[in-house]
Amino acid sequence: MSAARFKKMLALALAYLVIVAFCVVEMLPIYWVVITSFKTNLEIFGGHPLMPPFSKATLDNYAYVFKETGTSGVAVASYLKNSLIVTTCTIAITMVVGTLAAYGLARFRMRGRSLMAMLFLVVRMVPAMAVGIPVYHMVRSLELLNTHFALILVYSAFLTPFVIWMMRGFLMDIPAELEDSARIDGCNRLQAFWHVTVPMAAPGLMATATFTFLGAWNEYIFASLLTSTPDAQTTTVLIAGQISFDQVYWGRIAAIATVLIVPAVVFIRFMQRYLIQGLTMGAVKE
């Protein structure tokens, strides 16, 4: 075996070793949460932390999540319902509003185009907590605290810039000539956009919607400021609150965490193809 080939083999072996170690380190805490959610307290505090519960596995923690009442006298499932309502409505609003703006930015060369794109980008960078108090003040004056509506409105506004930037990238890849021919055939701008461009952008729309899902589903700061009752509180607020005083019930909290994690992981799995574009707001392509 030549020295060069040996070096290549060695590099490959090292690569395998490193990637397996990397994956183990990244997956270990997640694996631990999931198996802990199937354990009884006896197993959690007495057994091996990394061993699956096997025959002693229990669904009690999930029964608590979906049936019994939580600390505030309200079923955990109702927090999940709030998360679901807020996330779904946010996706619907941001996708419509954001895609329209992205189209305006991608298809037309007008004055102030790059300035607008940059203004949208600045909003993406604004830390939620920096504007959290005035947003709270505004929502309170409108008497919208503890409503789904307030969260939907705030999430939609803060996620729209993300949709604009990502969809702009996808729309710029669709040739404008197709629309032009549709317009020659008698469509107006909006019809051409709806019947020609939107279907072609379908994969991009799906990918963008997935990232919007993650943004809304995982959000904590605005939810913690704008909701304080189970009427509209989301799952992230529930977990963050429970950990401070409900430390005994690791299994239950692990079950809630698992319910929060699983849809997110499943969703992003489907978007693997557009992952890079989504993560970088369209700036880097695979």
Partner 1 sequence: MPDARTTPWLFMTPSIVLLLAVVGYPVLLGFKLSLYDWQLATIGQERYVGLANYIELIDNERLWGSIEFTLFYALAAVCIEIVLGTALALLLNQPIRGMRFFNTLLLAPIALSPVAVGVTWKFFLNADYGTMTFLLQEFGIADYQTWLVQKSAAPWVLIGIDAWWSLPFVTVILLAGLKSLPPEPFEAAQIDGARSWQSFFYITLPLLRPVYLVVLVIRVMDALRVHELVFVLTQGGPGRSTSSLSFLIWQTGFKLREMGNATAIGMAFLVFIVLLTAVLTKLLDRQISEVRN
C-alpha 160/C-alpha 96 separation (Å) is 9
How far CA 35 is from CA of 56, 59, 61, 98, 240, in Å, comes to 11, 11, 11, 39, 20
C-alpha 144/C-alpha 151 separation (Å) is 9
Least separation in angstroms between residue 175's CB and partner 1 is 15
Axis-axis angle for helices 235-245, 76-107 (nearest 10): 130
Least separation in angstroms between residue 157's CB and partner 1 is 3
Least separation in angstroms between residue 194's CB and partner 1 is 12
What are phi and psi for residue 142, nearest 5 degrees? -80, 0
Q: Which is nearer to partner 1, 23 or 202 (CB)?
A: 23
Q: Which is nearer to partner 1, 71 or 272 (CB)?
A: 272
Looking up tokens 């997935």 gives: 210
Q: Which helix H or strand E contains 200, and what residues bound it?
A: helix 198-200
Least separation in angstroms between residue 182's CB and partner 1 is 16
DSSP category for residue 188 = -
CA dihedral sign of residues 83, 130, 159, 192: positive
Least separation in angstroms between residue 73's CB and partner 1 is 22
Least separation in angstroms between residue 68's CB and partner 1 is 20
C-alpha 30/C-alpha 48 separation (Å) is 16
Tokens standing for 212? Answer: 């919007």
